[in-house]
A and B are shown apart, each in its own frame.
Chain A
Amino acid sequence: MNREKSFIKKLSTYLVFAGPATFAFITVIILPFLFGIYLTFTDWNGISSTHSFIGFKNYLSVFQDKTFFNSFLLTIKYVFFTVILTNIVAFLLAFILTSGVKGQNLFRSGFFTPNLIGGVLLGYIWQFIFSNVLVYIGNNFNLPIFSSSWLSNPDKAFWAMVIVGVWQYSGYMMIIYISGLMNVPKDIIEAASIDGAGGFRRLINVTLPMMVPSFTVCIFLSLQRTFMVYDVNLALTKGGPFKSTELISMTVYNKAFLSQDYGVGQAQAFFLFLIVATITLVQVYFSKKMEVEA
């Protein structure tokens, strides 16, 4: 009797404080997630009222689908270059900015600006730059590399996406690197200089090892974001020319909402979730192992 009463009391406290958040969370994330796993075993088209259970067929067609496979490889390539270049650029900017340059705030705010604006707009801005401004420059200043639009050539369109990605994310990562660099204890750096380490050696042997936590965060964030890019892709190239720049998010979207193939689309999405979860967890695990104490 008493136990029951205290259970009811606990339950009502829980519902009053955590009820709304828990309810929204479960109905928006957990239920769709579970229903999504169920969907991957059916042949539902999103409209018909009936669907049948077809076992692992959808997963098989994910692995046999050439469009999906190509798009997946392209995404890996895009993620690889964008993550590396973003982090190099961001670190260099942060390093120079924290080395006693005046006007740090102005630079910091300026580099961060692209992060305030939605991906669709960023994509459109660069679409205009690549297919109008740069073509004009190429034709009038005799620069053959720009004389035709980058977005109409599959190879160059890929690099256009990488450039926009680096431009978009580097300001964000720079903020994290700046705070990491400011937190490297001054006395260790001084000790290293007294021991005769020059600027470059101090960077490699002292600063970089102390910065591992920042690298962990930045690589994690940039991996997560670049894997899932959709809006910039849509606005900049729409996947073209000839689907050559269709990143994985767009492929999944098209499969489900354009081809009306919910089962296969969700199987692709679920596969993607497993890959991204594995890669990011492995990355965090190994970076954590590399961290050193001051």
Chain B
Amino acid sequence: MKNKKLILNIIKTLALSIVLILYIIPFVLVLINSFKTRVQIVSNPLKLPESYSLSNYLEAFTKMNYSHAFVNSLIITVFSVIFIVVFSSMTAHLLVRKKWVFNKIIFFVFVLSMIIPFQGIMIPLVSIYGSIGMLNSKWSLIYMYIGFGVSLAVFMYHGFIKSIPVELEEAAMIDGCGLMQTFWKIVFPLLMPTTMTIMILDVLWIWNDFLLPSLILIEPTQRTLPLSTYYFYGTYTVNYGLAMAGLIITILPVILFYLFTQKHIINGVLQGSIK
């Protein structure tokens, strides 16, 4: 009986390992080929590289304008996420604590709007912001991410704030705190788990987003990492080694970040989905 269970477990682990290898092997193949020349790749893409020269990487790094794109992506992601967290948590707090009719309506509109897919409004979005000359700047993009991000964040904070006993805030008010002070000193620290979840979901979304920045940031100097990868890969498709190196340097920061935060990320994704 025990033996049977052990054998079954070994079979399961083996099956999972094979599937895992299938999942990961595309990345490994890209990595291997990023060290090779075009001729070596065409003659055998499965062979390990003969030498690990970084020349493809250096070339990709300059041609992609990598440092620029990385900083753009970083600025856009960090500012968007901070603003989403600050504005949404304050909004949700007000919507929960002040039971005005208007607040109920606006919360309902927030929730309802989540069903609108981005493609449903991208055309009017571009025409409106194009006509007032707000395209082509990272700050417009950040502003739009705030607009797109707040509804889900307000919804998630709303659910959490409802579970915080209001007496806690009343006590602080009696001690002389204003509404603003009560929020930042008492409520916001309690919201940490939700804040983590929102930050993780939004970082993954904004860092990797392609369609919105491709519509807004037309100037090469403003491009984010996914955009510059897109243009770079389009230009150097035939030069496989270089293209592969470009992919790897774009993936690398995400993987490094993941290695240190994987538990939080997986937990954040889970919390975000079941809400």
Chain A interface (Cβ < 8 Å from any Cβ of B): 10, 13-14, 16-18, 20-22, 24-25, 27-33, 35-36, 39, 44, 46, 93, 96-97, 99-103, 107-121, 124-126, 128-129, 132-133, 136-137, 167, 171-172, 175-176, 179, 213, 217, 221, 224, 227-228, 230-231, 234-235, 249, 252-253, 256-257, 262, 265-266, 269-270, 272-273, 276-277, 280-281
Q: Are B20 and A110 in contact (CB under 8 A)?
A: yes
B243 at the binding interface (Cβ < 8 Å): yes
Q: Which residues in A have their C-beta under 8 angstroms from that of B208? A: 116-119
A-B contacts, 26 of them at CB < 8 A, read A16-B180, A22-B91, A25-B151, A28-B144, A31-B124, A96-B15, A96-B16, A109-B266, A111-B19, A112-B265, A113-B27, A120-B210, A121-B250, A128-B33, A128-B240, A167-B23, A172-B273, A175-B270, A227-B117, A235-B233, A252-B123, A257-B126, A266-B123, A272-B117, A277-B115, A280-B115
Expressed in whole angstroms, the Cα–Cα distance for A115 and B265 within the complex equals 11
Chain B interface (Cβ < 8 Å from any Cβ of A): 9, 12-13, 15-16, 19-20, 23-24, 26-27, 29-30, 33, 41-42, 44-46, 83, 87-88, 90-91, 93-95, 98, 100, 102-103, 106, 109-110, 113, 115-128, 143-144, 146-148, 150-151, 154, 179-180, 183, 204, 207-211, 215, 225-226, 229-230, 233, 240, 243-244, 247, 250-251, 254-255, 258, 262, 265-266, 269-270, 273-274
Q: Are A133 and B113 in contact (CB under 8 A)?
A: no
Closest residue of B by beta carbon distance from A214: B274
Q: Which one of A18, A111, A280 contacts B20 once the chains associate, using CB atoms below 8 Å?
A: A111
Q: Which residues in B have their C-beta under 8 angstroms from that of A25? A: 110, 113, 147, 150-151
Expressed in whole angstroms, the Cα–Cα distance for A266 and B128 within the complex equals 13
Q: Are B90 and A18 in contact (CB under 8 A)?
A: yes
Q: Which residues in B have their C-beta under 8 angstroms from that of A126? A: 26
Expressed in whole angstroms, the Cα–Cα distance for A272 and B120 within the complex equals 7
Q: Are B251 and A36 in contact (CB under 8 A)?
A: no
Expressed in whole angstroms, the Cα–Cα distance for A27 and B243 within the complex equals 39
Q: Which residues in B have their C-beta under 8 angstroms from that of A121? A: 226, 229, 247, 250-251
Q: Are B273 and A221 in contact (CB under 8 A)?
A: yes
Expressed in whole angstroms, the Cα–Cα distance for A280 and B273 within the complex equals 15
Closest 10 CB pairs of A and B: A28-B147, A118-B208, A273-B120, A36-B124, A21-B87, A17-B94, A18-B91, A32-B124, A24-B147, A21-B91
Closest residue of A by beta carbon distance from B207: A118
Q: Which residues in B have their C-beta under 8 angstroms from that of A257? A: 126, 215
Q: Are A175 and B12 in contact (CB under 8 A)?
A: no
Number of interchain pairs (Cβ within 8 Å): 241
Contact A27 B147, CB 8 Å, known A121-B247, A128-B29, A265-B123: yes
Expressed in whole angstroms, the Cα–Cα distance for A173 and B210 within the complex equals 22
Q: Are B119 and A107 in contact (CB under 8 A)?
A: no
Q: Are B143 and A179 in contact (CB under 8 A)?
A: no
Interface SS of chain A? helix
Contact A235 B230, CB 8 Å, known A32-B121, A118-B209: yes
Closest residue of B by beta carbon distance from A218: B273
Closest residue of B by beta carbon distance from A18: B91
Q: Which one of A24, A101, A217 contacts B16 once the chains associate, using CB atoms below 8 Å?
A: A101
B15 to chain A, nearest CB (A): 7
Q: Are A13 and B123 in contact (CB under 8 A)?
A: no
Q: Are A217 and B251 in contact (CB under 8 A)?
A: no
Q: Are B211 and A230 in contact (CB under 8 A)?
A: yes
Q: Are B94 and A14 in contact (CB under 8 A)?
A: yes
Q: Which residues in A have their C-beta under 8 angstroms from that of B42? A: 132
Q: Which residues in A have their C-beta under 8 angstroms from that of B23? A: 110-111, 113-114, 167, 171
Q: Which residues in B have their C-beta under 8 angstroms from that of A270? A: 120
Expressed in whole angstroms, the Cα–Cα distance for A112 and B23 within the complex equals 9
Q: Are B269 and A175 in contact (CB under 8 A)?
A: yes
Q: Are A13 and B94 in contact (CB under 8 A)?
A: yes
Q: Are A262 and B127 in contact (CB under 8 A)?
A: yes
Expressed in whole angstroms, the Cα–Cα distance for A121 and B150 within the complex equals 27
Q: Are A115 and B125 in contact (CB under 8 A)?
A: no
Q: Which residues in B have their C-beta under 8 angstroms from that of A119? A: 208, 210
Q: Which residues in A have their C-beta under 8 angstroms from that of B20? A: 107, 110-111
Expressed in whole angstroms, the Cα–Cα distance for A14 and B207 within the complex equals 31
Q: Are B127 and A97 in contact (CB under 8 A)?
A: no
Q: Which residues in A have their C-beta under 8 angstroms from that of B209? A: 118
Q: Are A39 and B123 in contact (CB under 8 A)?
A: yes
A90 to chain B, nearest CB (A): 12
Q: Are B113 and A29 in contact (CB under 8 A)?
A: yes
Q: Are B147 and A29 in contact (CB under 8 A)?
A: yes
Q: Are A33 and B116 in contact (CB under 8 A)?
A: yes
Chain A CB within 10 Å — which of B120, B128, B255, B262 has the most?
Answer: B120
Q: Which residues in B have their C-beta under 8 angstroms from that of A96? A: 12, 15-16
Q: Are B254 and A117 in contact (CB under 8 A)?
A: yes
Expressed in whole angstroms, the Cα–Cα distance for A117 and B119 within the complex equals 21
Expressed in whole angstroms, the Cα–Cα distance for A115 and B251 within the complex equals 12
Q: Are A273 and B27 in contact (CB under 8 A)?
A: no
Closest residue of A by beta carbon distance from B88: A21
Q: Are A125 and B124 in contact (CB under 8 A)?
A: no
